[in-house]
Amino acid sequence: MARPDVATCRGYDQYGEPVTLTGGGTFGRCLQHETDHINGTVFGDRLSARSRKQLYRRFDAVPRSIPQPGP
């Protein structure tokens, strides 16, 4: 699903005053991306079923162990 060209976010600043941000281009995409996170949506959720399966196969192939620092 294609994203809209412009995004508007409304909220409140640290003093309780209303704030409205509107952005297009890269900033608009960032606003939409972060709003997705607030709503529990991640990158893989926006992919087609085929692309999502490929993403998960690649993810499963990555080793999960974190090397310990040397002596």
Tokens of 28: 């608009």
Q: Is 67 part of a structural domain of the chain?
A: no
Residues 6+ apart with CB under 8 A from 55: 44, 47
| Residue 32 structural domain | 6-61
Question: Which of these, 37, 13, 14, 32, lies nearest to 22 by C-alpha position?
Answer: 32
pLDDT exceeds cutoff 80 at 67:
no
pLDDT, greater one: 55 or 64: 55
Q: Is 46 part of a structural domain of the chain?
A: yes
- The active-site residue, picked from 6, 22, 34, 45, is 34
Contact 31, 21 (CB under 8 A): yes
Domains contained in the chain, number: 1
pTM: 0.64
Q: What is the mean pLDDT of the chain?
A: 90
User: For the residues 15-29, what does the mean pLDDT come to?
Assistant: 96
34 flagged as catalytic: yes
pLDDT tens-place string over residues 32-54: 999 999 999 988 888 999 999 99
Q: Residue 69: what pLDDT? A: 78
Q: Is 38 part of a structural domain of the chain?
A: yes
